[in-house]
Amino acid sequence: MASRWPIPAPAAFDTSDERDVLSRNRAVSFSEFARTPVHWLALGFGAGLAPRAPGTFGTLVAWPLHLLLLLLPWGVHGAVVIIGCVAGIWICGESARRLGVHDHSAIVWDEIAAFALLLWALPVQSPAWWLAAFLLFRLFDIWKPWPIRDLDHRLHGGTGIMLDDIAAALFAWVLLLASTLILN
Protein backbone atom coordinates (compact mmCIF):
# COMPACT_ATOMS: atom_id res chain seq x y z
CA MET A 1 0.00 0.00 0.00
CA ALA A 2 1.41 3.39 -0.97
CA SER A 3 1.93 5.90 1.78
CA ARG A 4 -0.34 8.94 1.97
CA TRP A 5 2.45 10.96 3.51
CA PRO A 6 5.18 12.63 1.47
CA ILE A 7 7.88 11.68 3.99
CA PRO A 8 8.03 8.10 5.27
CA ALA A 9 7.69 7.59 9.00
CA PRO A 10 10.95 6.98 10.89
CA ALA A 11 11.90 3.32 11.26
CA ALA A 12 11.51 3.56 15.05
CA PHE A 13 7.74 3.70 14.62
CA ASP A 14 5.39 0.94 13.60
CA THR A 15 4.20 2.25 10.23
CA SER A 16 1.24 -0.12 10.06
CA ASP A 17 -0.92 2.79 11.20
CA GLU A 18 0.44 6.11 10.00
CA ARG A 19 -2.17 8.01 11.99
CA ASP A 20 -0.67 6.60 15.20
CA VAL A 21 2.69 8.09 14.23
CA LEU A 22 1.10 11.50 13.89
CA SER A 23 -0.94 11.23 17.11
CA ARG A 24 2.11 9.99 19.07
CA ASN A 25 3.84 13.23 18.18
CA ARG A 26 0.90 15.62 18.46
CA ALA A 27 1.64 18.62 20.65
CA VAL A 28 0.36 18.59 24.21
CA SER A 29 -0.77 22.03 25.26
CA PHE A 30 0.41 23.56 28.51
CA SER A 31 -3.19 23.79 29.73
CA GLU A 32 -3.74 20.07 29.00
CA PHE A 33 -0.56 19.35 30.98
CA ALA A 34 -1.34 21.75 33.84
CA ARG A 35 -4.90 20.65 34.58
CA THR A 36 -4.09 16.98 35.20
CA PRO A 37 -1.79 16.06 38.13
CA VAL A 38 -0.79 12.71 36.59
CA HIS A 39 0.55 14.62 33.57
CA TRP A 40 2.87 16.60 35.87
CA LEU A 41 4.66 13.37 36.69
CA ALA A 42 4.26 11.57 33.35
CA LEU A 43 5.45 14.58 31.38
CA GLY A 44 8.47 14.98 33.65
CA PHE A 45 7.38 18.21 35.37
CA GLY A 46 7.20 19.81 31.91
CA ALA A 47 10.34 18.30 30.34
CA GLY A 48 8.17 16.22 28.01
CA LEU A 49 6.76 19.42 26.53
CA ALA A 50 10.13 20.15 24.86
CA PRO A 51 9.45 20.61 21.14
CA ARG A 52 12.43 18.43 20.20
CA ALA A 53 13.94 15.42 21.93
CA PRO A 54 11.48 15.26 24.86
CA GLY A 55 12.92 11.87 25.89
CA THR A 56 16.37 13.38 26.22
CA PHE A 57 15.04 16.28 28.27
CA GLY A 58 13.10 13.82 30.42
CA THR A 59 16.21 11.75 30.98
CA LEU A 60 18.03 14.87 32.18
CA VAL A 61 15.39 15.33 34.91
CA ALA A 62 16.70 12.16 36.58
CA TRP A 63 20.12 13.74 37.24
CA PRO A 64 19.14 16.25 39.95
CA LEU A 65 16.83 13.62 41.46
CA HIS A 66 19.76 11.20 41.56
CA LEU A 67 21.98 13.80 43.23
CA LEU A 68 19.35 14.32 45.94
CA LEU A 69 18.88 10.57 46.40
CA LEU A 70 22.64 10.13 46.87
CA LEU A 71 22.15 11.76 50.27
CA LEU A 72 20.16 8.69 51.34
CA PRO A 73 21.57 5.27 52.24
CA TRP A 74 22.11 3.07 49.16
CA GLY A 75 19.22 0.72 50.01
CA VAL A 76 16.73 3.54 50.62
CA HIS A 77 17.87 5.22 47.39
CA GLY A 78 17.26 1.95 45.53
CA ALA A 79 13.84 1.46 47.14
CA VAL A 80 12.75 4.96 46.07
CA VAL A 81 13.93 4.34 42.51
CA ILE A 82 12.22 0.93 42.31
CA ILE A 83 8.99 2.41 43.70
CA GLY A 84 9.28 5.11 41.00
CA CYS A 85 9.58 2.42 38.33
CA VAL A 86 6.63 0.41 39.63
CA ALA A 87 4.51 3.56 40.09
CA GLY A 88 5.51 4.52 36.56
CA ILE A 89 3.41 1.68 35.19
CA TRP A 90 0.28 3.45 36.45
CA ILE A 91 1.57 7.00 35.87
CA CYS A 92 2.51 6.37 32.22
CA GLY A 93 -0.51 4.19 31.51
CA GLU A 94 -2.98 6.68 33.00
CA SER A 95 -1.38 9.62 31.22
CA ALA A 96 -1.43 7.72 27.91
CA ARG A 97 -5.10 6.85 28.47
CA ARG A 98 -5.98 10.48 29.16
CA LEU A 99 -4.00 11.68 26.13
CA GLY A 100 -5.59 8.96 24.02
CA VAL A 101 -2.21 7.84 22.65
CA HIS A 102 -0.09 4.85 23.71
CA ASP A 103 3.40 6.04 24.69
CA HIS A 104 2.96 9.64 23.58
CA SER A 105 6.37 11.22 22.99
CA ALA A 106 5.71 13.75 25.78
CA ILE A 107 5.41 10.96 28.38
CA VAL A 108 8.91 10.87 29.86
CA TRP A 109 8.41 9.38 33.34
CA ASP A 110 9.65 6.10 31.83
CA GLU A 111 12.96 7.76 30.88
CA ILE A 112 13.25 9.46 34.26
CA ALA A 113 12.59 6.30 36.28
CA ALA A 114 14.68 3.96 34.10
CA PHE A 115 17.65 6.35 34.00
CA ALA A 116 17.40 6.87 37.77
CA LEU A 117 17.53 3.06 38.12
CA LEU A 118 20.62 2.92 35.90
CA LEU A 119 22.35 5.72 37.83
CA TRP A 120 21.62 3.99 41.15
CA ALA A 121 23.03 0.66 39.86
CA LEU A 122 26.28 2.08 38.44
CA PRO A 123 29.42 0.43 39.82
CA VAL A 124 31.09 3.86 40.14
CA GLN A 125 29.37 7.12 41.13
CA SER A 126 31.16 9.89 39.28
CA PRO A 127 30.30 12.50 36.63
CA ALA A 128 32.20 10.54 33.95
CA TRP A 129 30.18 7.39 34.68
CA TRP A 130 26.94 9.39 34.76
CA LEU A 131 27.74 10.86 31.35
CA ALA A 132 28.63 7.43 29.90
CA ALA A 133 25.39 6.04 31.36
CA PHE A 134 23.39 8.91 29.86
CA LEU A 135 24.87 8.42 26.38
CA LEU A 136 24.41 4.64 26.39
CA PHE A 137 20.89 4.86 27.82
CA ARG A 138 19.81 7.37 25.16
CA LEU A 139 21.46 5.25 22.45
CA PHE A 140 19.53 2.13 23.45
CA ASP A 141 16.30 4.02 24.13
CA ILE A 142 16.35 5.62 20.67
CA TRP A 143 17.82 2.69 18.70
CA LYS A 144 15.68 0.06 20.46
CA PRO A 145 17.58 -3.10 19.43
CA TRP A 146 15.91 -6.47 19.95
CA PRO A 147 14.29 -7.25 22.42
CA ILE A 148 13.67 -3.62 23.41
CA ARG A 149 11.72 -2.99 20.19
CA ASP A 150 9.56 -6.07 20.84
CA LEU A 151 8.74 -4.85 24.36
CA ASP A 152 7.83 -1.47 22.92
CA HIS A 153 5.49 -2.96 20.29
CA ARG A 154 3.98 -5.98 22.04
CA LEU A 155 3.21 -4.72 25.52
CA HIS A 156 0.54 -2.11 25.88
CA GLY A 157 -0.36 0.35 28.59
CA GLY A 158 1.98 1.47 31.32
CA THR A 159 3.81 -1.87 31.44
CA GLY A 160 4.99 -1.57 27.85
CA ILE A 161 5.83 2.10 28.23
CA MET A 162 8.02 1.39 31.27
CA LEU A 163 9.63 -1.92 30.30
CA ASP A 164 11.26 -0.82 27.05
CA ASP A 165 13.09 1.96 28.93
CA ILE A 166 14.06 -0.36 31.78
CA ALA A 167 15.44 -2.75 29.15
CA ALA A 168 17.43 0.13 27.60
CA ALA A 169 18.82 0.90 31.07
CA LEU A 170 19.72 -2.78 31.53
CA PHE A 171 21.57 -2.85 28.17
CA ALA A 172 23.52 0.29 29.17
CA TRP A 173 24.28 -1.16 32.62
CA VAL A 174 25.61 -4.42 31.14
CA LEU A 175 27.95 -2.51 28.80
CA LEU A 176 29.17 -0.27 31.63
CA LEU A 177 29.69 -3.24 33.96
CA ALA A 178 31.54 -5.14 31.21
CA SER A 179 33.80 -2.14 30.62
CA THR A 180 34.60 -2.10 34.34
CA LEU A 181 35.55 -5.76 34.27
CA ILE A 182 37.65 -5.37 31.12
CA LEU A 183 39.46 -2.23 32.28
CA ASN A 184 40.32 -3.58 35.74
Per-residue pLDDT 10s for the chain (184 aa) are: 443 333 333 344 343 444 444 445 667 777 777 788 899 999 999 999 999 999 999 999 999 999 999 999 999 999 999 999 999 999 999 999 999 888 899 999 999 999 999 999 999 999 999 999 999 999 999 998 888 888 877 888 999 999 999 999 999 999 999 998 888 7
Distance between alpha carbon 162 and the CA centroid of its chain, in Å?
7
Task: List, as one string, the DSSP characters of 79-94.
Answer: HHHHHHHHHHHHHHHH
The length of the chain is: 184
Please tell me the distance from the alpha carbon of residue 151 to that of residue 172, in angstroms, as a whole number: 16
The pLDDT value recorded for residue 24 is 55
Instruction: Tell me the domain boundaries of the chain.
Output: 29-183
Span 69-89, pLDDT tens digits: 999 999 999 999 999 999 999
Span 84-93, pLDDT tens digits: 999 999 999 9
